Amino acid sequence: MEKIDFDERMTWTEIVKKYPHKWVGLSSIDWDGGKILSAVVKYVDDSIDKIFDRQITVGDVEAEYTTPDELWSNLNSGLTFLPSENNYN
C-alpha cells in the first residue's frame, strides 16, 4: 500500500485519471448525495485489503475503486452459467 504524504484535494475525475484501476483510500470526501465531488487521496493499492482494514479499524479513510465497471466485467468473464436453485423460504 502506497501512502500519499501530501494532502492534495482532487476531484473524482482527477483521481480516476491519476490512479486508474486502483483502490484508493480517501479522506475528507466532499459528497453531493452519492457523488464524490472531491477528496484527499491518502493511500493507493492494487488490493482493497490494507485500505479497508484501516477503514474499519481507524476510520480515517474510505476505500473506493477508481474503475468499478472494469472489476465487474472481470468477475463475469470465464464463468460457466448453470441453473441455480433458489431456496427462498
Partner 1 sequence: MKQFSLNLLENFNKPFVYLENFFKIRALLDTGADFPVWTVDEIFLEKIGGVKINSNISFGGFGGKTTGNLYRMKYFQLGDLIFPEMHIVAKKLSLPCQMILSAPMFHDLIYEIDNVHHKLNIAIPDNKSNIKNLIIYDKEGKMYVACTAVNEN
Q: Which residues bind partner 1 (CB under 8 A)?
A: 12, 31, 33-36, 48-49, 52-53, 55-57, 59, 62-65, 68-69, 71-72, 74-76, 79-82, 84-89
Nearer to partner 1 (CB atom), residue 6 or residue 75: 75
Cα distances (angstroms) measured from residue 39 to each of 23, 50, 83: 14, 19, 43
For the CB of residue 54, give the shortest distance to partner 1 in the complex, in Å: 11
CA angle 35, 38, 43 (to 5 degrees): 110
Q: Which helix (H) or strand (E) holds 42?
A: strand 35-45
For the CB of residue 17, give the shortest distance to partner 1 in the complex, in Å: 14
